[in-house]
Copies of this chain bind each other. A is one copy, B any other.
């Protein structure tokens, strides 16, 4: 019989999806250029030419049997070795290929990482606001996602709140830096304090507690900064990455889990991930895409547009009196709404063809998210609507 469990999920259409569909239908009416759609976190710049060129080179030069053949379930050995070398150089780590597990993007990475270090009934703490899919990613393994509020003045971690969330069932902490939806990038100070707290908690409860670090926005960082690398601060870290944002190839489903060589059982976790794959139909990410990304390590799409957009929006929001934390990276910003009910706030904004997402489903009621991965020209035009909206509804 049809699974009632999954059937019941059909009614739970995500708010983002609903708003994005509204934007599309509204665009069909009034012209899409007149709808200021800040709903979807999809890259808005093309993949670098080097990625396309590499793909074409592989297709024209490589033996198709090798190119399109099965990779090991851990990923193509040469691809994993290149990743290890790149990460070592960049973050002063000492990975080998055996610590890498290639995945179908960050969702595939988290699907494996959570299963590798939890058992059903275990708790996985995450910091709210958080990417809503984490609920599915964690709870569908049998473990339980336990959100803890961030310090909403900075969107760094509220360590008192975090500390009180640990208990004997805590198997992992799942973080996302730079953060979707807040745009906050965890500082070295935050990561040092987090690491110290987690070492204490491991000691207190007498078992390993893993840090699962979700980093698809690692390269999209502003003000000339670089994102501190969580695995450098805490031994039991599984780093989850996706090339979706940095290379603007979200459809090609490619990322990895990197197991900190200093983690407990570091030498077997990637192999275990291969076993996990068998039960969830993962198998391995597409071979040609594995090979292509491994030849453009360190390159990115022209992501500077996101910083340009952020600055325009941050300045305007601040001028209009919004409480807003300046993002350290990503292509999101998450201001406080001008009334307590952010759903009502976003509904009113729709009247001005401003598509804003209430942050309730991210675990931050009272806030809203703007995904500014759109053309700068459109961001600029949206300011007029934004001013009008605020002055007519909240002045």
* Chain A contact residues, CB within 8 Å of chain B: 1-7, 9-10, 42-44, 46-47, 52, 55-56, 59-60, 63-65, 67-71, 103-105, 107-112, 115-119, 133, 136-137, 139-141, 171, 207-208, 248-254, 264-265, 268-269, 271-272, 275-276, 278-289
Report whether over half of chain A's contact residues are helix, strand or loop; otherwise say mixed: helix
Q: How far is the CA of A48 from the CA of B253 in the complex (A)?
A: 24
Given contacts A1-B171, A9-B278, A70-B251, 16 further A-B contacts (CB under 8 A): A1-B119, A1-B207, A2-B116, A2-B272, A3-B118, A6-B115, A52-B64, A68-B251, A68-B252, A104-B282, A110-B281, A111-B279, A111-B280, A140-B280, A252-B288, A253-B284
Contact A69 B250 (CB under 8 A): yes
Residue on B nearest A63 in the bound complex, by CB:
B46
A205 to chain B, nearest CB (A): 10
CB within 8 Å for A119 and B3 given contacts A69-B42, A280-B140, A281-B107: yes
Q: In chain B, what residue has the closest Cβ to A172? A: B1
Residue of B nearest to A2 (CB): B265
Report Cα–Cα, A332/B249, bound state, in Å. 38
Residues of B within 8 A of A250 (CB): 68-70
How far is B286's CA from A253's CA once the two chains are assembled, in angstroms? 6
Nearest chain B CB to A394's CB is how many angstroms away? 35
Tell me if A2 and B275 are in contact (CB < 8 A): no
Establish whether residues A140 and B278, one from each chain, have CB atoms under 8 Å apart when the complex forms: yes
Q: State the oligomeric state as a number of copies.
A: 2
Query: Chain B contacts of A6 at CB under 8 A?
Result: 115-116, 272, 275-276
Q: Are A278 and B70 CB-contacts (below 8 A) given A2-B117, A251-B288, A272-B10?
A: no
CB distance from A98 to the nearest CB of B (A): 13
The smallest beta-carbon distance between A172 and chain B, in angstroms, is 9
A53–B116 CA distance with the chains assembled, in angstroms: 40
A-B pairs with lowest CB-CB distance, top 6:
A111-B281, A140-B279, A251-B287, A136-B278, A9-B275, A280-B280
| B59, B65, B140: the one within 8 Å of A248 (CB) | B65
Q: What is the distance, in angstroms, from A234's C-beta to the closest C-beta of chain B? A: 16
Q: Are B253 and A283 touching (Cβ within 8 A)?
A: yes
Could you say which residues of chain B place their CB within 8 Å of the CB of A272?
2-3, 6-7, 9-10
A102 to chain B, nearest CB (A): 11
Chain B hits for A59, CB < 8 A: 52, 55-56, 59
Q: How far is the CA of A19 from the CA of B234 in the complex (A)?
A: 40
By a CB distance below 8 angstroms, the chain B residues around A275 are: 6, 9-10
Given A283-B108, A284-B253: A46 and B64 interface contact (C-beta under 8 Å): yes
Which residue of A107, A137, A265 has the most chain B CB atoms within 10 A of its CB atom?
Answer: A107
CB–CB A112/B288 < 8 A: no
Query: Which B residues are in CB contact (< 8 Å) with A4?
Result: 119
Whether A137 lies near B271 (C-beta < 8 A) is: no
Contact at B282–A281, with CB atoms within 8 Å?
yes
User: Once bound together, how far apart are the Cα atoms of A177 and B182, in whole Å?
Assistant: 51
- When chains A and B are docked, how far (Å) is the Cα of A67 from the Cα of B47? 10
> When the two chains form their complex, are residues A47 and B70 in contact, meaning their CB atoms are under 8 A apart?
no
Q: Which residues of B lie under 8 Å from residue A108 when comparing CB positions?
A: 281-283
The distance from the CB of A232 to the nearest CB of chain B, in whole angstroms, is 22
A65 contacts across to B, CB distance below 8 A: 43-44, 46, 248
Query: Which of chain B's residues have a CB closer than 8 A to the CB of A269?
Result: 2
